[in-house]
Structure formats: structure tokens, C-alpha cells
Amino acid sequence: MALAVLPQVMNSFVVSLMREEDVMTDEVPRYASEKALLGYCSFHHMLLALRARHPEIGEVAADRLRRFIQGQRSKAHAPDLGQLLVYMAVTEDVRWEELAAAVLAESHVRGVRWLLRDRPRLQCAVSAEDRLRWSFEGRATSSRLLMFQAFFLRRVARPAGETLAASLARYDRQFGQPTAPQRERLVRACREILRVDGWPAVYEGLGLRAPEEQELAEELCAAVHQSLQLGYHGSPTLLQSGSSAGAGAPPERVGIKKCLRQAFKDMEPQKARRKADGQAGARSRRAVGPAAPPRQDGPQVPRGAFAALRDDSDEGSESE
């Protein structure tokens, strides 16, 4: 269950970076930020190493991302947006530019429940200025989390022109840590993100065009209605009234593990075909090629790599 556990751990490091008390002081202690960043990178290294060992991890991640982009965005399909963003760090098949707008739009909808807890007036007609200000104040931390994930994906996890195999090799050389220039950029980016004070900077940080104020206010207002229709907020009694589920009935709650378990099950035929093709190729090479050199007593592990993941003794192991 690598895609269930490791992204959750990585998200916890990001949350520790964007704590509200650090925002209030407009600063984050360098030692604390570096500790969280190094932990985040270490687990990203582990996730890349597992992906290299089990290609289906990247395939499932890409499949979940494509489904989200194509419209399967409810909590039944994508229970956790933070974990979904981490999937971008283990696949080369989906670009950030394809995902960014969809993630932000869905985060507007999912954030309504928490906004209304402190600002119930947002359910009613309010001025565009008030809606923009109150919505940002109520969702500043979650917006900063999105901005950090976007920065990490584009500057560390998948820099322009670098493959994931190259990223893994870089991590191996660095014992799972970012390079010194990357570390400085990450710390500097965290401080800049903590100082963000409005929606235009959020859109810029995500690589998106910031809409006009009235357009954004209308989008945020529409998110309130969509949240109600999806059952993300409101009275469960009212939403579930009637003998059958209507348009306003809340979706089935499906956990991340259940979603991933089904996704990996769907990938089993492809995995079986790859294994069969590999065995057929090996038989063909043995039939026509020279004898293979004797196997060495122990695996040769590159500096900084995960030795357990380079051992060939567990061919039949499964990873989810």
C-alpha cells in the first residue's frame, strides 16, 4: 500500500511547514523547515525506489490522475486531494498543467464546508470583495499546501527535462536528500508561500491565470452550491430525505485504501502479461545467447540506494 501510506506521510510534512502559527509570525524557523523538507524528500526517494521495483505504482498513479482530470473528482473517486497531488511525483504520463486547474476547482468545492463553519454568511449573497477576502482567509492554509506541492513537483520531483529515473539516481547519490541548491530554493519558497496574502498569488504559484475578481467571486459562489449538491455540507437529513438518493444525496464514502486496492486489482492482467513476456524473453535469450555469468554472492547496491529494494530474492512480492 505504498500509494496509501507514503503520500499521507509526505503530506504531514507539508502541513507541519504551513502551520497557522508560523503564518502569524510571517516566518518559519529554518531548522524546522529543513527538517520537514528533508523528511519529505526522503519519503519521495522511497516512493521512487518502490516505483522502479514495481512499475504498476506509476501506472496506477497515472490512471487515478487521468480519471480526476476527465471528471471523476468526487470524494468517492478521489478521497484525498493531497495524496492525489503526490501521485504526480511518481509518473511521467501526466503534466502539472493538465491537473492544476482541476485540483484548484475541486479544492474550492471541498473547502466550502470549513468556510461556512466560520463564515456562514458565505451561503448568502455577499459582495464580491467580501467573498474573495473571507474565502481566502478561511482557506489560506490549504491554498499554501497546494502551492508547495506545485513548487516541489516542478522544481524538485520532476524538474523540466529530468526523468524520474534520473531523479531516483540523484536521490541515490544524495542519500535521499535534495541537493544544496534545491534545499535553499525549497526553504526560500516556503517563506514566500507563507507570505501569500491573496488569490492572485495563489493562482500564480500554481502556474494558472488569475481570473478577474468578479469571475472568481462567481466561481466561489458556484462552489458553495456544488458542495451542497454533492453532500459535502448541509443537513444530512435534508440531503438524504426520500426513498431514493436524489441529486443532492451525498456520495458513497470510499477510503483511499479501498480505491487503490481496486485500482491495483485492475492492473493485475497487465502485470501478468509483463511477467509472461519477460519469462518468454528470458527463455529465448537462453536458447540463442551465451551462458549468463555466475551470479555474485551479494547485490551491488549503488551509493545511497535502498538495498532491500535491489534484492532479487522477492520476485513474487506484491505492492499496492
Burial of 61 per CB tally in 10 Å (0-12, 13-18, 19+) = buried
Instruction: Print the domain residue range for 59.
Output: 1-231+253-262
Identify which of 132, 131, 135, 155 has the alpha carbon closest to the alpha carbon of residue 207: 155
Q: What was the pLDDT predicted at 185?
A: 87
Q: Which three cell numbers stand for residue 51?
A: 516505483
Q: Which three cell numbers stand for residue 42?
A: 526522503
CA angle 34, 138, 11 (to 5 degrees): 35
Q: What was the pLDDT predicted at 275?
A: 61
DSSP states along the chain: -HHHHHHHHHHHHHHHHT-HHHHHTT---HHHHHHHHHHHHHHHHHHHHHHHH-THHHHHHHHHHHHHHTT--STTT-S-HHHHHHHGGG-SSS-HHHHHHHHHHHHHHHTHHHHHHH-GGGGS---HHHHHHHHHHHHHHHHHHHHHHHHHIIIIIS-TT--HHHHHHHHHHTTT---HHHHHHHHHHHHHHHT--SHHHHHHHTT-PPPPHHHHHHHHHHHHHHHHHHTSSS-HHHHT-SSS--TTSPPPP--HHHHHHHHHHHHHHHHHHHHHHHHHHHHHHHHHSPPPPPPPSS--PPTT--HHHH-GGGTT----
Residue 294 lies in a domain: no
Q: Alpha-carbon distance 235 to 228, whole Å?
A: 9
Q: Which three cell numbers stand for residue 136?
A: 481566502
Residue 306 lies in a domain: no
Q: Which three cell numbers stand for residue 300?
A: 551491488
Residue 276 lies in a domain: no
Contact 151, 205 (CB under 8 A): yes
Residue 308 lies in a domain: no
The answer on pLDDT for 114 being more than 60 is yes
Q: Alpha-carbon distance 18 to 217, whole Å?
A: 25
Q: What was the pLDDT predicted at 251?
A: 46
pLDDT bin (cut points 50, 70, 90) of residue 293 is low
The answer on pLDDT for 90 being more than 70 is yes
Domain tally for the chain?
A: 1
Q: What is the pLDDT of residues 205-249, one digit of tens each?
A: 999 999 999 999 999 999 999 999 988 887 553 333 333 344 444
Query: To the nearest whole number, what is the mean pLDDT of the chain?
Result: 78
Q: What was the pLDDT predicted at 268?
A: 62
Residue 28 lies in a domain: yes
Q: What was the pLDDT predicted at 32?
A: 63
pLDDT bin (cut points 50, 70, 90) of residue 272 is low
Q: What was the pLDDT predicted at 234?
A: 79
Give the long-range contacts of residues 295-299, CB within 8 A, separation 24 or more: none
Chain-centre distance for alpha carbon 222: 25
Q: What was the pLDDT predicted at 112?
A: 95
| Mean pLDDT of the region 23-27 | 47
Residue of higher predicted confidence among 104 and 282: 104
The answer on pLDDT for 304 being more than 90 is no
| Mean pLDDT of the region 53-65 | 94
Residue 169 lies in a domain: yes
Q: What was the pLDDT predicted at 265?
A: 63
Contact 60, 3 (CB under 8 A): yes
Q: What is the pLDDT of residues 39-50, one digit of tens each?
A: 889 999 999 999
Rounded percentage of the chain residues whose pLDDT exceeds 90: 44
Q: What was the pLDDT predicted at 299?
A: 44
Q: What is the pLDDT of residues 140-182, one digit of tens each?
A: 989 998 999 899 888 888 887 789 999 999 999 999 988 888 8
Residue 115 lies in a domain: yes
| Mean pLDDT of the region 24-35 | 60
What distance, in Å, lies between the first and last C-alpha atoms of the chain? Answer: 4
Residue of higher predicted confidence among 288 and 60: 60
Residue 202 lies in a domain: yes
Q: What is the pLDDT of residues 188-210, one digit of tens each?
A: 888 899 889 999 999 999 999 99
Angstrom distances, CA of residue 204 to CA of 35, 60, 94, 196, 208: 27, 29, 20, 10, 6
Chain-centre distance for alpha carbon 144: 14
